[in-house]
Chain A
Amino acid sequence: TQLLEQSPQFLSIQEGENLTVYCNSSSVFSSLQWYRQEPGEGPVLLVTVVTGGEVKKLKRLTFQFGDARKDSSLHITAAQPGDTGLYLCAGPHGNQFYFGTGTSLTVIP
């Protein structure tokens, strides 16, 4: 098992629908980051959350860090085909840096 588990692993939705991606751990993280990765490229940072209960918005994307700092969620409103990609949560724990298992999102026009 990995330290950061994401669900769902795959998600295929119609343009205009809403969706939520989850990132869960049994361990406490000092901060969590969310990245998006497109085919053939490396991940690109979307946001960093550092305070338990924190909510950050990036246009149609809303990120939340759990009160206990063991989980995070990414909510997309009115998904667009340009949102298609692999979404990864990540964060430091001990002297290591961990990425989640990833959620592959496909938005169908």
Chain B
Amino acid sequence: NAGVTQTPKFQVLKTGQSMTLQCAQDMNHNSMYWYRQDPGMGLRLIYYSASEGTTDKGEVPNGYNVSRLNKREFSLRLESAAPSQTSVYFCASSDTSTGTHSNQPQHFGDGTRLSIL
């Protein structure tokens, strides 16, 4: 059972470079999420997608774009990386067929550790 797979696991960028973080889930979940995790701040929601073809801003969307390519895949793009975007990024998926942000668990990948110099 792969669950949620994130690539790459580690990445170092220079300020101003762009990159895309990939996420895929094999649980047929309708909702997918991107979070960033910084020390002392828990996880903060960047963007989420409640269904294929829809995306919505989370708490901290500035500097990021997302694409829900199909039901399985949800990518996060940094167009011009900044040192403030150094963080650990987590993708998650959930069955929210009963409503957005339902009580169903979110299933997480193992994260992408991104450093921006």
**Interface set of A (CB-CB < 8 Å, partner B):** 2, 4, 6, 9, 31, 33, 40-45, 48, 50, 88, 90, 92, 95-102
Contact = CB atoms under 8 A, between A and B. Distances in A.
A2 B100 CA distance: 21
A96 B110 contact: no
Given A96-B59, A98-B59, A2 B33 contact: no
Interface string B38-49: 001111110010
Interface of B: 4, 33, 35, 40-45, 48, 56, 58-59, 90, 92, 100-101, 103, 105-111
A45 B106 contact: yes
Contacts of B107: 42
Contacts of A92: 100-101
Contacts of A98: 45, 59
Contacts of A33: 103, 105
B40 A102 contact: yes
21 contacts: A9-B40, A33-B105, A42-B4, A42-B92, A42-B108, A43-B43, A43-B90, A43-B106, A48-B103, A90-B42, A90-B43, A92-B100, A95-B100, A96-B101, A97-B45, A97-B101, A97-B106, A98-B45, A99-B35, A101-B41, A102-B42
A96 B48 CA distance: 9
A40 to B, nearest CB: 7
